[in-house]
Structure 1
Amino acid sequence: MQHITTSYKDYIITTDKSLMNLADIHKWLSEEAYWSKEIPYDTVRTLFENSYCIGAMKGTEQIAFARLVTDYATFGYLADVYVVEAHRGEGISKQMLDLLFGMDWVKYLRRTMLSTIYAHDLYRKYGFTECRYPDRLMEILRSPDMYKQMTEET
């Protein structure tokens, strides 16, 4: 898969994992994200290695991130989207999503899904809607505190 790197204001937007800062991604996901508090570093490394990632950098600092869990042919699940608070309002998430959803292979995924509490209006701009057949969807949903519980047990 070809990597794309572009500049936007004082930021670099990239799909090249070698330019991303895994320590910063882990720090944000483990300390700031309500869905993954205390997620272990090894778990973040695994999700990073096994997903199509896009990020925004300011120098060597990872200030935004998102990943698409995908088979690259029919399905994708957008996850772990964030922009560090100090950089919000700069249009960074829009730039990242424009780049990601502008890729030909992403355009041809039959289904792309996500879960969000706050950003419905942002994602609607990229074609996301409520599920047409919600009664067909099922899930196994574990506690958002599962990583904290795992830490306490060890």
Structure 2
Amino acid sequence: MSATPVPAAELPDGYEISVDPARIDPARVHHWLSTDAYWAEGRPRETQDAAIAGSLNFGAYDTASGEQVAYARVVTDSATFAWLCDVYVDRSVRGKGLGKALVVAVREHLRPLGVRRVLLATSDAHGVYERAGFQPLPEPAQWMVHYYDPAVRS
């Protein structure tokens, strides 16, 4: 399965979204996240490669060049739960709606699996996720977290 359904109105012209793992550019994804994403700055390449290997990965690509221009990763059991993370759009193509299109693609890909909820965490992109149908947790006090390293909270 290489393509994922995205309503035509959601995807900017000249771009496509795929879940084909062979199309992911791990070096590019690592560079983006480890140098330009507050939640993953300094993440080692080996850690990023392991995260990619253990996840459902979405890439957005320029249809003319085939170049990867955005990325999203989902940790899921493909039945009941999903965690959307590492959403990144290359700075050169921001503002075109690719972030929202990528998140909608994730949502629509997971819908037929019966996943009951998709969670994510963000410090600065609430508007993007709200436009794609996400909302704040209705009862955040029900959720808990364990940190192996209290200094690392992302």
TM-score range, shorter chain: 0.7 to 0.9
1:66 aligns with 2:65: no
Whether the aligned pair in 1 keeps the contact of 2:59 and 2:72 (CA below 8 Å) is: yes
Identity of aligned residues (%): 33
CA, structure 1 residues 107+120, in 2 after alignment: closer, same or farther (shift >3 Å)? farther
Whether the aligned pair in 2 keeps the contact of 1:34 and 1:144 (CA below 8 Å) is: no
Where structure 2 has 5 or more consecutive residues not aligned to the other structure, the ranges are 6-10
| Offset at residue 143 of structure 1 (A) | 3.6
Under a length normalisation based on structure 2, what TM-score does the superposition of the two structures give?
Answer: 0.82
| Offset at residue 104 of structure 1 (A) | 5.4
What is the RMSD computed on CA atoms of the aligned residues? 2.4
Q: What whole-Å deviation, never above 9, does each CA across 1:26-63 have from its counterpart, x for those lacking one?
A: 11111111111111111111111111111112335322
Q: Partners in 1 of 2:110 and 2:86 — Cα distance? A: 22
Q: How does 1:25-64 map to 2 (within 5 A)?
A: 25-58=29-62, 59-64=65-70
The alignment of Structure 1 onto Structure 2 pairs a total of residues equal to: 145
Q: What whole-Å deviation, never above 9, does each CA across 1:79-122 have from its counterpart, x for those lacking one?
A: 00010111101111122222221225467211211001111122
CA, structure 1 residues 111+130, in 2 after alignment: closer, same or farther (shift >3 Å)? same
Where structure 1 has 5 or more consecutive residues not aligned to the other structure, the ranges are 147-154
CA, structure 1 residues 127+34, in 2 after alignment: closer, same or farther (shift >3 Å)? same
Under a length normalisation based on structure 1, what TM-score does the superposition of the two structures give?
Answer: 0.82
